[in-house]
Every structure is written in structure tokens, then in C-alpha cells.
Structure 1
Amino acid sequence: MAKVSMREVADHAGVSVGTVSHVVNGSSKVAASTAEKVNEAIDELGFVRNAAARQLRSGHSSSLGLVVLDTSNPFFASVAHGARQACDESGLSLLIGDSGTDEARESKYVDLFAEQRVNGLLVTPTGSDLSQLESIAGRGTPVMLVDRASNGYALSSVTVDNVAGGRMALDHILAGGCMRPAFIGGPQSLPQVADRLLGARERVAGSGLDLPVFGTEELTILAGRNAGEKVVALPDGERPDAVFCANDLLAVGFMQAVLMFSDLRIPDDIAIVGYDDIDYAFSTIVPLTSVRQPAELLGRTAVETLLQENASVSSEHHDREFTPELVVRGSTRPI
């Protein structure tokens, strides 16, 4: 079926094309009775407003673009939920891209959203080079980093103190009497993972304890289970008595390996701490101790801060950092 034009709507309603344009764009210049005739013509003919053309005229759309590392990760799903709620309250729509921790894919989404003239971009970057985002911000599209600090780039950010979170996890593990902690996770090229490991290493520094790292290429349940199989196969004297996992998905997979492939008891023989405190962390077979990030608040704050900066005449950038919280459950030893 051919698209109905604004001219056809105008002829059907007996008004000018300009009048139809005013009605479609919500102008108050048209009398109520005339607007009613135009809207009846729109409904009868099935006219659909050309949003792309309107964006070209106005120079921007009514959308924000969000690019995250993995939409299947409940943490990023919660971030997106918080961002969407803030967008709804501001009359904006949210476009979501999943980079899959692939820098080239992330770059494509960023370019695509910028070409669509979104009102702003919210991005959790994969790599350390943020020059593309800085360039886009310099050309007039506001950019907000989510779950990632700006680290000297001229960009605003909303993040969590992951170094402090790593220290919290190890503080709790050591307070429970564990003396052979280990770190599970990767890739360490992700600043979030590197910072959590840094905090954990800071906590054991000077204690005489080692912190072996069992690296993973992904932050998934399967990667955690694979790492867990390697750990439980170690001899008793070499096997960690506690693990700090870089996120909850790894921790869930690690827990599966312990329960499926060994007779080890959680937390008596091996304690497990995750990170993020995703919704089902409390409902695992052994409820998971985790370092909680305020995921929905991150998404909401990112949108609200970006819109505030968009409305401001100042070019000042803002870095907002939240403090994580340790949530203790059954996967770690009581203190």
C-alpha cells in the first residue's frame, strides 16, 4: 500500500498542507475544530508522520542511544531498565545496542546512533581508546560513559568504585578465615575487571598471601564453570579455599562446577563471592554473597545527568561515582 502524503491529508480535510503540519507537530496555532478535522483525516487515511524528515529539520530526534557490553547480562539489563524509566519520564525513547565486548561492533552502533541524530549517547566502552566518543561529543552529540570512568577524556561518566568493591570482597573472604583466596575473571583489558582485581590485590598486599588469577575470556556462566572445573581438579594443598569472581555470572558458573564435579562444600571447603548482585544471586542453590552495584540507579543517573548537561549552557563535564555494597549470603563463611 502506498504511503499517504501530507498533501492527501490536507485535501481530505479541506485545509492547507501547513495546517496539517502544525497539527502533526503539536502546534497550538490551529483551532480545535480544525485540528479535529485533520486528525479525523489522518485516522481515515492511515497517515504516518515521517519522523526521519522531522529529525532532519529539527537537527535531532527524541531518542537516546545506549550501547552496553552484553544485554544478556542481568546487570546491563538492569542498567537499561533504569535508563528507559528515566527516558519515559522525559518523553524520550531509548535505542539499545549490544557491543558484545567487540570494539568494532561498538563503533558501528555509536556511528549509527550519531547518524540518527539521537539527543545523546550512553556508552559502556569496551576498549581504552575513547577518542571516537570524545570526537562525537565535540561535534555536538552529548556522550555519557556508563559503568566506566572518563580517565582524562573530555567526557562525563557515571560509575561505581570497583577498586573499593574488590577490597570489600577480599576483606570479607579474609575475615572468614580463608587463607588461599583466588580471583576468577577476565578479560583484564576491561577496566571494570582490572579495577576489581586491583582492589583485591591491594587488600592482600603485605599479608604474605598470594592471589592467583584464573583468567577467563568472557564474563559468562559457561566461562565460570570452565574455570571452576580447573580449580576443583587441583590437589587439596594447591586449591583455593575462596574465590572472588569478577561478576555474578562467573560466580554462578563456578558454583555449578563445584557442586557438579566435586564433593567440596560451599562455603566450608571453598567460599564464593560474586560482583553485581544480579536479581537471582539470592536464589542460587547456595545463596551468593556479592558486591552490589546500583545498576538501575546507574542507568537512571546517566540519563538524568546527560539531559541536565544538554540543557545547560556550560560545557562542564561531570563524573559521578557510587560506592558498592557487600551483600553477605550463604556462599561465604560466617564472620
Structure 2
Amino acid sequence: MAKVSMREVAAHAGVSIGTVSHVVNTPEKVSPETLAKVNQSISELGFVPNAAARQLRSGRSSSLGLVVLDAANPFFASVARGAQDACDRAGLALLLGDSGTDERREGKYVDLFAEQRVNGLLVTPAGSDLSGLEGASRRGTPVMLVDREPGSASLSSVTVDNVAGGRLALDHLIAGGSVRPAFVGGPLTLPQVADRLAGATLRAHDAGLGLEVFDSGEQTILAGRAVGQQIVAMPRSQRPDAVFCANDLIAVGVMQAVIMSSGLTVPDDLAIVGYDDIDYAYSTIVPLTSVRQPAELLGRTAVETLLSEESAGSTGHHNLRFTPELIMRESTKPE
């Protein structure tokens, strides 16, 4: 079926093309009677406004771009859900990109969304170099970091205190009697992982304990299971008695290795703490103790703050940090 043009709508309604354009783009400039007449013609003819043309005229699309490290990770799915809720209320669409912790792939999404003239970018960076995002901001695309501190970069952010979260996890394990704690996570170069490790290391040092570190390489269940198999194969005298995992998926993998591949038990032989408190942390084989991040709140706040800055024409930057919370379950010993 041929596409109906604005000229055809104008002829059908008995008005000028300019009037139809005002109805589509600036209806407040049209009288109620004319508005009703033109909208009736639009409905009867099945006219679909050209969104791309409107975008070029306004300089912006009605969308935000969100780039996360792993869309399959339930934590980032919750972040996206919170961002989507805020976008819905603002009348915006949310475009999602998955960098897979690849900086080049992230850059391609940032460039693509900027070319689409999105109202703003929400990004969880895959690396430490934020110059590309700063460049996008200078070129006129508002940028908000999600789950990541800006460091020296001139960018706004919404995050959780990951160093405090690492201390919180180790404090709980030590209070439960751990004398050989370990950290499992990766890649260790990822700032969020590095911050959680830093907090855990500080707390272990304060207690006069060492902290063995296992680099899982990835933040997946399979990566956690591989490290878990390493741990259960260690001699008892050298094996950690507790592990703090950089996220819940890794913790689930470690737990699977302990329960499925050895005669060890959780938490008596190995206490386990995860991070994020994803939805199914409480329904694992042994309910998982986890450091909770308010994922949906992060996504929602990121959108609201970005839009607020854009509306106010703000040249300053907001860096909002939430406090993590320990959720105790059966995978660790009571304090």
C-alpha cells in the first residue's frame, strides 16, 4: 500500500500543508476545531508522520541509549528495567546496547546512538579510558555513567560504593569465623571488580589476614564454577574457608562446584558471599548471601538525573552514590 503524504491529508481535510505540519509537530498552534478535523483525516487515511524528518528538525530523537557490560546478566537487566520505567514516564524510547566488556564494541554503540541523535547516553564503561565518552559529551550528547565512578573525567554518574561493598562482605565473613578468606572475580582490570577487591583487601588487612585472589576472567556462572573446582581440589590446609565473589553469577558457579564436585558443604567448609543480590540469589541450592545493589533504582535515577540536567541546561555534573547493603542468607555462617 502506498504511503499517504502530508499533501493528501491537507487536501482531504481542506487545509494547507503548513496546517497539517503544525498539527503533527506543534498542535498547540492549531485551533481545536482544525486540530480535530485534521486528526480525523489522518486517522481515515492512515497517515504516519515521518519521525526521521521531525528528528532532523528538532535535533533530537525521542530516545535514550543504554550501553551495558552484559545484557544477559540479571543485574544489568534490572538496571535496564529501571531505566525503561523512567523513559516510559518521560515519553522516551530506550535503545539497548551490549558491549560484552569490549571497549571497541562499546565505542561503536556510543557512535551509533549519537548518530541517531538520542537525547542522552547511559553507559557502564568497559575500560578505564573515558575520553571517548567525554568527547561525545562535548559534541552535545549528554552522557551519564551507570555503576561506575567518573574518576577525573568530566561526566555525571550514578553508582554504588563498591569499595564499601567489598569491606562489608569481608567484615561479614570474618565475623562468621573465616581465617582464610579469598576473592573470586574478573576481569580484575574492570573498575567495579577492582573496587570490590580493594575494599575486601583493606578489611582483611585490618583483621591481620591475607586475601587470596582468584581471577575468574569473566563474570559468569561457568567462570565461577571453574574457579570453584580449583578451590575444592586444594589441600584442606591451604583451601580458603570463605570466598567473596565479585558478582552473584560467579558465586553460583563456585557453589555448584562445591556441592556437585566434592564432599564439601556450604557454609561449613566454604562460606560464600556474592554481589548484586540478583532476583534468584535467594533461590539457589543454598540461598546466597549477597551485597545488594539497588539495580532498578540505579537505572531509574540515571535517566531522571540526565533528563533533569538537560532540562535545566546544566553545565555542572552530578555524581550520585548509593550505599550497598548486605543481605544475609544460608550460604554464610551467622556473625
TM-score (norm 2): 0.97
State the percentage of identical aligned residues. Answer: 73
2:12 counterpart letter in structure 1: H
Match of residue 172 from structure 1: 172
Which residue does the alignment assign to 2:96?
A: 96
In structure 2, list runs of 5 or more residues that go unmatched: none
Please give the alpha-carbon distance, in whole angstroms, between the structure 2 residues aligned to 1:263 and 1:51.
62
Aligned-residue offset at 1:37: 2.7
Q: Is 1:323–2:323 an aligned residue pair?
A: yes
Superposition RMSD on alpha carbons, in Å?
A: 1.2
User: Residue by residue, what CA displacement relative to the aligned partner does 1:31-87 show, whole Å, maximum 9, x if unpaired?
Assistant: 333323322222232221111110100111111111111111111111111111111
For residue 269 of structure 1, what is the amino acid of its counterpart?
D
Q: Residues 70-149 of structure 1 correspond to what in structure 2 (within 5 A)? A: 70-149=70-149
Give TM-score scaled by structure 1 length. Answer: 0.97
Comparing 155-164 with 306-315, greater Cα deviation is found at: 306-315
Quote the Cα distance in structure 1 between the aligned partners of 2:249 and 2:275: 9
The equivalent of 2:307 in structure 1 is: 307
Other-structure match for 2:61: 61
Identify the residue that residue 230 of structure 2 maps to in structure 1.
230
Deviations 1:256-292 (A, max 9, x none): 1111101111101110000000111111111100000
Q: Which residue of 1 aligns with 2:333?
A: 333
- SS of the equivalent of 2:27 reads coil
Report SS of the residue matched to 1:240. coil
**d(CA) in 1 for partners of 2:107 and 2:181?**
37
Q: Residue type of the partner of 2:102?
A: D
Q: Is structure 2 residue 215 aligned with structure 1 residue 215?
A: yes
What is the letter of the counterpart of residue 253 of structure 2?
Answer: G
Distance of 1:92 and 1:324 partners within structure 2: 29
C-alpha distance in 2 between matches for 1:171 and 1:208: 12
Q: Give structure 1 stretches of 5+ with no counterpart.
A: none
What is the DSSP-based 3-state SS (H/G/I as helix, E as strand, rest coil) of the residue aligned with 2:29? coil
Aligned counterpart, 1:242: 242
Q: Does 1:259 align with 2:267?
A: no
Mapping of residues 3-82 of structure 1, within 5 Å? 3-82=3-82
Equivalent residue letter for 1:135: G
Corresponding residue SS for 1:205: helix
Deviation at 1:30, TM superposition (A): 2.4
1:206, CA displacement in angstroms?
5.0
Cα displacement string for residues 106-155 of structure 1 (whole angstroms, at most 9, x for unaligned residues):
11111111111111111000011111110111122111000001101110
Deviates more, 1:206-215 or 1:174-183: 206-215
Range with greater deviation from structure 2 (25-34 or 88-97): 25-34
Aligned mates of 1:68, 1:183 — CA distance in 2: 24
What's the CA shift for 1:329?
A: 0.4
Aligned letter for 1:254? V
Q: Using the TM superposition, give the Cα deviation of residue 308 of structure 1 relative to its aligned residue in structure 2, in angstroms.
A: 1.3
Tell me how far apart the structure 1 counterparts of residues 313 and 87 of structure 2 sit (CA, whole Å).
21
SS of the counterpart of 2:111?
helix
Aligned ranges for residues 179-218 of structure 1 at < 5 Å? 179-218=179-218
* 8 Å CA contact retained: 2:162, 2:196: yes
Runs of 4+ in 1 over 3 A off after TM superposition: none
